[in-house]
Structure 1
């Protein structure tokens, strides 16, 4: 049990604590009943307290029964939850409320330990309350978020902005990034990424046409540019890519740069899950030299 700071009041002959009392002990079955989720969900506990809950697609609507529990990991994805108010101040480190009708992350401003946050396919458009949190992973896939200024100064290992409403990457100039996805966005300029320590970048189906800024990202290992109008691969010279996903039929310059890249182990023309064309480098070049990809584009035209 955590230590409590106590003040002795002689007049009253009792101990007053400035720490909220520990929550009443309840079983997992009782918690399920309070949450209205039947036999669904999974809970973890330490002593009398719940410390984690996996409630994906259980039908939970109201999170208030969780108040007072020192939960550090919570997954409530694909539920009709509309409010996160019950989570304010909870010692959360990981939270996933993807595919819920939640619109506001205001209560999370008080979750000072939050490091991983997944809110894909929600109605959240304003992430200002997240400013200053120690986030390392943030997934905003299919969210109407357009303003990334609240992320200033963060060190994000992973940032997923696929099909979000962002129009440019200017707000990321002061953000450290490891992996970045901007697939399906209207982003056209990669210059805000110059000099970053990126390891993986996905710009598939974006409006990017120039890879020039990536010449100053020597840490880059994985790159997906399929579905873009990129035609020149020469900016990749000197990089040590291990995986490249691109549209070979669109390349008019610099194909020799990737052919001569000794680190390149895997070349794809589509991302996994989209009729994958995963190939070893040698297999790809054999097919490329045989005119396979030229034939495919000619047949489609």
Structure 2
């Protein structure tokens, strides 16, 4: 993976990968779909500063704080995850759309309401 530094899109959905550390050098990656994988730790994604789309649907990720480092994110799918706190998304100024179906997040969540007021399209 380290030799694929010009790669812009990667979609290993439903592949039983759990270790995302090989992705850390894919600095040109703009789109990443790791839906329905065994990924639990997304801290190695913090180097992906050009990432615009991230799909974490139905993963076992529990710590979403690394998302705050992905400032180019425009769309993120967190459907079916255990996310319960949206504070890591609060500072993502380029965020346009977020999917939160089948998560513990309440429609009345204060940060969620703030995202909506900024014009972020929310699917919950």
TM-score (norm 2): 0.85
Higher strand share: 1
Decide which moves more: 243-252 or 231-240.
Answer: 243-252
Q: Is 1:246 paired with 2:97?
A: no
**Other-structure match for 1:159:** 10
Q: Quick one: which of 94, 99, 111 aligns to 1:257?
A: 111
Relative to structure 1, the CA distance from residue 216 to residue 159 in structure 2 (aligned partners, 3 Å threshold; closer, same or farther) is same
- 1:250 CA displacement: 0.3
What are the residue-to-residue correspondences of 1:1-301 with 2, within 5 Å? 151-153=1-3, 154-176=5-27, 177-196=29-48, 197-240=50-93, 241-247=95-101, 250-251=104-105, 255-261=109-115, 262-264=118-120, 266-269=121-124
1:210 and 1:232 in contact (8 A); partners too = no
After superposition, the C-alpha distances for 1:97-149 in whole angstroms (9 at most, x for unaligned) are xxxxxxxxxxxxxxxxxxxxxxxxxxxxxxxxxxxxxxxxxxxxxxxxxxxxx
Deviating 4+ runs (over 2 angstroms): none
The structure, 1 or 2, with the larger RCO (C-alpha pairs under 8 Å, 6+ apart) is: 2
In structure 2, stretches of 5+ residues that fail to align are: none
- 1:179 CA displacement: 0.4
2:81 and 2:103 in contact (8 A); partners too = no
Relative to structure 1, the CA distance from residue 203 to residue 239 in structure 2 (aligned partners, 3 Å threshold; closer, same or farther) is same
Q: How many residues align?
A: 117
SS in structure 2 at match of 1:201:
strand
Q: Say what the alpha-carbon RMSD is for the aligned residues.
A: 1.8
In structure 1, stretches of 5+ residues that fail to align are: 1-150, 270-301
**Distance in 2 between the 1:214 and 1:235 partners?**
6
